[in-house]
Amino acid sequence: MTNTMDIESQFLSNIKENLNAEISLGTVTNIHEAKEWLKYTFFYIRLMRNPKKYNINLGKSKDINDRKAEIEEFLQEILTTAVKSLHELRLIRHDQATNFLNSTELGRIASHFYIHSQTMDHFCKELKITDDR
């Protein structure tokens, strides 16, 4: 038991489901709030300590401000991709003019019953559920 290994976060594998839940609850209403929400997670702590584990290439600069800027950009990309996917799956509405995020009925169902976003997409296709927007 003398060998130690860092415990890394698996948060990214379910980012869409977690973000959908926060949007459904109303705690996240835009991408800026989503980024602030992410900063309170174990994922963010591990990301700051070991960015290479999460496929962030920080270049050669060791300046903490450069590192934070690159990590902020990485978080922005992750969140933008997740929001776009959730919007396409009809689980949320994303108003691009205001950047406002709002849950749909399908999103609230997925969040409340812990249904994976891809499963909700499958249900919608099989049951021929039309656009909820």
Residue range 58-78, pLDDT digits in tens? 766 667 777 888 899 999 999
CB-based contact 117:110 (threshold 8 Å): yes
Task: Report pTM.
Answer: 0.89
Q: What is the pLDDT of residues 80-115, one digit of tens each?
A: 999 999 999 999 999 999 999 999 999 999 999 999
Residue in the structure block whose two tokens are 């705690």: 27
pLDDT value at position 75?
95
How far is the C-alpha of 115 from the C-alpha of 85, rounded, in Å? 15
CB-based contact 54:88 (threshold 8 Å): no
pLDDT band at 120 (very low <50, low <70, confident <90, very high): very high
CB-based contact 92:18 (threshold 8 Å): no
How far is the C-alpha of 21 from the C-alpha of 107, rounded, in Å? 8
Q: What is the pLDDT of residues 11-64, one digit of tens each?
A: 999 999 999 999 999 999 999 999 999 999 999 999 998 888 998 877 666 677
pLDDT for 133 beyond 60? no
CB-based contact 107:82 (threshold 8 Å): no
CB-based contact 75:89 (threshold 8 Å): no
pLDDT band at 1 (very low <50, low <70, confident <90, very high): low
Residue in the structure block whose two tokens are 């108003």: 95
Residue ranges of the alpha helices (H) in the chain? 15-25, 31-38, 42-49, 64-88, 105-112, 117-126
